Structure 1
Amino acid sequence: MDSKTRPIVGGMLTFIGTAHTAMGAVVWATKDQDAELSFWFTAFGVAAIALGIAVIEVERARGYVTGPILAAIAALAGFGLAVEPVSGFLTVLVPVAVGIRGWVRRRNTPVAVA
């Protein structure tokens, strides 16, 4: 089933990944920091883009992001915040919150019986 809903959560994750990848490229180009920092920015940016694209497909197919996917993203954000409290992992909480809202809304919608 292709949903008419817009893939908001996946789009947010893809945007966050794109920004992260761009920051990695800027850090690398300016040689302002260690090469390791540029690598991690870029690597996690590309991984976030891939995750975002996968979540877009789920949102299009189901109309919402499933609970296990939201739990995995929340666990990733929680781990990242535990290791690095002041970091970009805070931005990942926004798509998680939007996803939880959509998931709860869709689960509470009555199903029409034909």
Structure 2
Amino acid sequence: MDFVELGEAFRLARLAANKTQQQVAEQSGITRARISRFETGLLPELGTVKLLSLFEAVGLELFARPIGHGRTLDDVLAEQRTPALSSAETRRRVRLPRPEARTKITGKGG
């Protein structure tokens, strides 16, 4: 898996967690602009601590294993536990709920 694929996996996990880039930024301490560039493959590098912080914010773990290592039983079980996202879901935007419209109260002061 290369860095661009990591960004895509992160984006899918963020959408599955129903979090905005801003919410992840606030939780991880990474700027929203950097998160956006990471997701789109435009970020040239990201430190390990920051990457782990981003992954933790959306419920991902990072595993180290030998190059060329095949899928394990843990990989298969994790895929079965994770609901697949449709192509429509991967294109959706996460939106924050809008605050109730405030009504303007006018009164005469005394």
Bigger Rg, structure 1 or 2? 2
| Superposition TM-score, scaled by structure 1 size | 0.26
Relative to its length, the structure with more helix (as a share) is 1
Give the alignment's TM-score, normalised by structure 2.
Answer: 0.27
